[in-house]
Structure 1
């Protein structure tokens, strides 16, 4: 998927005075993972709020929520794996 790109602070990425457009699937995934439900005015039921899962004993709960949200957003989810060190491997795309 192509969209306007954001920098690390989620501000619009601008180069030479122009907005930058590019592949944005990973950016959309990151945003869905970080935002809580209710934070997006247009789609208030979207968002995972990964911070709520930090003390969860089962990373599978977070993986399940990610699968659901990515699917609701229109992605085909092939694989989501969360390792014991909490690194996340995502194979999902539009």
Structure 2
């Protein structure tokens, strides 16, 4: 999906005085993972809230929440893995 890119501080990325447009899939995934419910004013029930799962062994619950939120955002989720503790590997993308 194309859109406005954000920098590492999650503010608009500007290059040579212009906003940067590019593939936003990864940044959208990052924002959905980190966002808690009610963080997005326009869609208050959107967000995984991954911080809630930090000290939990509920990887199945986390995977379910990721899948539900990514699908609700229009992505196709192929695979979610937890290769090592504290890491998430997600294969998901927008159609088209």
Determine if contact 1:60/1:82 at 8 Å carries over to the other structure. Answer: no
- Counterpart of 1:46 in structure 2 is 46
- Counterpart of 1:14 in structure 2 is 14
CA RMSD of aligned residues (A): 0.9
- Counterpart of 2:4 in structure 1 is 4
- Superposed CA deviations along residues 34-90 of structure 1, whole A, max 9, x for unmatched, are 010001110000001110011211222111100010001010100011123221111
Q: Counterparts in 2 of 1:20-59, with a 5 A limit? A: 20-59=20-59
- Counterpart of 1:76 in structure 2 is 76
* Count of matched residue pairs: 94
* Greater than 3 Å deviation, 4+ residue runs: none
Q: Structure 1 stretches of 5 or more lacking a match?
A: none
Deviation at 1:18, TM superposition (A): 0.2
Whole-angstrom CA distance in 2 between matches of 1:86 and 1:59: 10
Q: Structure 2 stretches of 5 or more lacking a match?
A: none
The DSSP-based 3-state class of the residue aligned with 1:61 is helix
